[in-house]
Amino acid sequence: MKTYLKNFAILSFIVAFVASLGSCEATQNMNNKQKGAVIGAAGGAILGAVIGNNAGKGGNGEAGAVIGGVVGGAAGVIIGDRMDKQAQKIEEEIPGAVVERVDDGIVVTFDENSGVNFETNKYDITPESKATLEKLSGVLVEYPDTNVLVVGHTDSTGSDEYNMTLSKNRAYAVTNYFTANKGLNPARFTTNWYGETAPIADNNTVEGRAQNRRVNVVIVPNEKMKKEAQKEAGGN
């Protein structure tokens, strides 16, 4: 209970902080790369909240380590600019996907209506999904200095244990497509899964369940990009 309350307090602070940024006239007029310097200076647990406020309930526990800290200052501006361009490229190549810039990262959400979907109770990638992942893999090749976190989710239909396994299999199906089929470096990828524990919509409706059956692809700068940005910014 103490851990839950502590995590809730931290998340509440983050939400309040982001809300304050959004209400500030100066930050409303900033683009993402400029916001990188402001948000980065305050630290970054925001990206972890986007992929699910349930770390510890499911998955393999590696999400936080992959996301890492947010780079602030001049280096953060440089990284923000590069990630902005990559996000724009993804939006151009995959217009159906939901693409969000959060902290230093890019969160791409695929559900049954936006590019990558699975047949009921299956985790085989459909031909339509392959076409979408083909486009995303091209962007990942074009921007190699990033790491990728693939996260699987389900709706609440079925048992907790079954959904946890299903989300794991679907997430690995996406990761394996990138690494085995498209030849991307496996060292760039981490796979996680949350079953039904991190819904983003109402599981009591057909539309909500369709949104919850999703895969997130989180793209973050790797150490090479961070070091190059710090060097370009005049740091050590």
pLDDT 10s digits, 149-197 = 898 989 999 999 999 999 999 999 999 999 999 999 999 998 988 899 8
Residue type, 14: I
pLDDT at 42 over 70: no
Instruction: Tell me if 61 is assigned to some domain.
Output: yes
> Any residues with CB less than 8 A from the CB of 136 and at least 6 apart, and which?
90, 93, 94, 97, 108, 217
Higher-pLDDT residue of 162, 22: 162
Give the residue among 98, 79, 90 at the shortest CA–CA distance from 35: 79
What local confidence, expressed as pLDDT, does residue 169 receive?
Answer: 96
Q: Is 107 exposed, middle or buried (0-12, 13-18, 19+ CB in 10 A)?
A: buried
Instruction: Tell me if 3 is assigned to some domain.
Output: no
3-state secondary structure of 218: strand
Instruction: Tell me if 187 is assigned to some domain.
Output: yes
45-61 mean pLDDT: 48
Instruction: Tell me if 72 is assigned to some domain.
Output: yes
Instruction: Tell me if 56 is assigned to some domain.
Output: yes
Express as a percent the part of the chain with pLDDT over 70: 69
CA 103 to CA 10: how far, in whole Å? 16
Residue 218, CB half-sphere, CA atoms under 13 Å: how many? 29
What local confidence, expressed as pLDDT, does residue 166 receive?
Answer: 95
47-51, 71-75, 88-92, 219-223: least confident range: 47-51
What domain range is 111 assigned to?
31-232
pLDDT at 228 over 60: yes
Instruction: Tell me if 112 is assigned to some domain.
Output: yes
Task: Specify the CATH number for the domain of residue 212.
Answer: 3.30.1330.60
10-19, 89-98, 99-108: least confident range: 10-19
**Count of domains observed in the chain:** 1
Instruction: Tell me if 80 is assigned to some domain.
Output: yes
Give DSSP secondary structure letters for 69-103.
PPP-HHHHHHHHHHHHHHHHHHHHH-TTSEEEEET
Instruction: Tell me if 21 is assigned to some domain.
Output: no
pLDDT at 56 over 50: no
